[in-house]
Amino acid sequence: MLDKPCLAPFTSINLDSTGQVVPCCVYKMKGNVDHKVWDNNLNKSVGINIKKKFNSWDKLRKNILKNKYPSNCNICKLRSQSGKTRADDFRKNLEPFIDDEFNNPKILMMDLDLSNKCNLKCLHCSSSNSTAWIKDSKKLFKIDNNKFDKQPIKHRSVNNIKDLYNFPEITKDLKIVEIKGGEPLYQDQRYDILEVLIDHDVSKNITLKYITNMTVKDEKLLKLWCYFKKIKLHVSIEGTDKLYNFIRGDKITNVNMLEKNILWYREKIKKYNKKIYVNWSVTVMACNIFDVENIFNFIKKLNVGYNINGIGSTPTLVVNPDYLDYRVLPRWYIDKARKQMKKSLHKSVINFEKKLTYWKDEERIPKFKLYIEYIENISLIRNINPNTIPFWKELKNEYLAY
């Protein structure tokens, strides 16, 4: 599946808001959540059993070294066909630190999903990762036996961060801590994790990474960031103009807000004699494949030092839910988008276009129908106009013709 073995099981743990401990955030866990460690002296559970779980992946590691990946890794397999994978991220971030970890695994990276608390309800998300999605999930759940697979999930958060106070050995080798959500700048535990790392006296060795929608400003975070080696903000973006609002499920937030907030963070932190590095996470799905060029034009206009022609700038694909995968689209639609991308001024867009593929109609058409129905239903629920999506009328006509 990959040119080189995935580094995640050898170097990283993902801790999510359900209590799961897995190698990375796209690794599909099966079975029950992980149990906490029980301290007989204190007569209570004192933390997620991270170390024990990390040490239990020997079989997984041996198979990966033989290029044998379990079905749990299928999301990376799907994304590798056209876009950037999570395994690519691990390689880019961790290879500089790799020594003997293939023989002696070590926790160099901690990937944290603190809770599903979020202020936006992005089209490709769900209540599993956004509390703003809860009301819409309840309405979609009632349609044809939940055919859009939108199970309503309430706010969830495991108090696992403060528990790390009791396990300094888990944090001693950390080089990268990646914080997600929900929205990481909006989390109840956003200060707790930083204070743990500061108190363990390891913050000076750590690069903090936030995968953020960049809609929240927080000066207290700025002060805590000063204790860390480096701060990277990975700003997620899926569209421009009205399409941005359609995808984000929010009529107020826009790309101009992203620009203002990025500049706010960069300017504010200067008084602490620190620098913030801004990267971008461009996500491509069925409804925004015509907006890729506009997204990269916007990023270039901001000129925040991000190399939009670098390997890391390759867009990430939405493959789950699969009815939002761009390959559900008719061939003529994808070809129109490809024609546009070939004229791009950005190498990353041109490289992305070359990787685009098609699904056979027998696989594509059922998912295409589900895509149209999903957009129609979400538009009604949110009182938004689906014509924001390029050539929506033509897509709808094709749907009606089947």
24-76 pLDDT, tens digit per residue, is: 988 876 544 554 555 555 555 555 578 888 988 999 999 999 999 988 888 88
What is this structure's pTM?
A: 0.89
Rounded Cα gap, residues 31 and 125, in angstroms = 22
Q: Which of 158-167, 168-177, 315-324 shows the lowest mean pLDDT across its residues?
A: 158-167
Residue 279 binned pLDDT confidence (cut-offs 50, 70, 90)? very high
pLDDT at 260: 95
Contact 364, 355 (CB under 8 A): no
Percentage, residues of the chain above pLDDT 90: 69
pLDDT at 45: 52
Instruction: Calculate the alpha carbon distances from 273 to 194, 223, 225, 267 in Å.
Output: 19, 11, 11, 10
Residue 124 binned pLDDT confidence (cut-offs 50, 70, 90)? very high
Q: What are phi and psi of 61, to 5 degrees?
A: -65, -45
pLDDT at 263: 94
Residue 297 binned pLDDT confidence (cut-offs 50, 70, 90)? very high
Rounded Cα gap, residues 120 and 316, in angstroms = 19
pLDDT at 106 over 50: yes
Contact 82, 357 (CB under 8 A): yes
pLDDT at 303: 85
pLDDT at 234 over 70: yes
pLDDT at 42: 52
For residues 123-136, give the mean pLDDT: 95
Angle between the 134-141 and 361-382 helix axes, to the nearest 10 degrees?
120
Instruction: State the CB neighbour count (10 A cutoff) for residue 273.
Output: 7
Among 265, 264, 250, 268, smallest CA distance to 118 is for 250
Contact 187, 117 (CB under 8 A): yes
pLDDT at 157: 79
Q: Which of 15-24, 27-36, 84-93, 208-217 shows the lowest mean pLDDT across its residues?
A: 27-36
pLDDT at 4: 81
Instruction: State the CB neighbour count (10 A cutoff) for residue 256.
Output: 10
Q: Residue 259: in which H helix or E strand, if any?
A: helix 255-268
Rounded Cα gap, residues 248 and 233, in angstroms = 19
Instruction: Give the strand pairing for 12-15 and 109-113.
Output: parallel
Q: What are phi and psi of 39, to 5 degrees?
A: -100, 110
Among 101, 76, 40, 30, smallest CA distance to 320 is for 76
Percentage, residues of the chain above pLDDT 70: 93
pLDDT at 31: 46
Rounded Cα gap, residues 195 and 200, in angstroms = 8
Could you tell me the two tokens for 127?
């209540």
Residue with tokens 């819409």: 136
Among 151, 125, 126, 149, smallest CA distance to 373 is for 149
For residues 91-98, give the mean pLDDT: 88
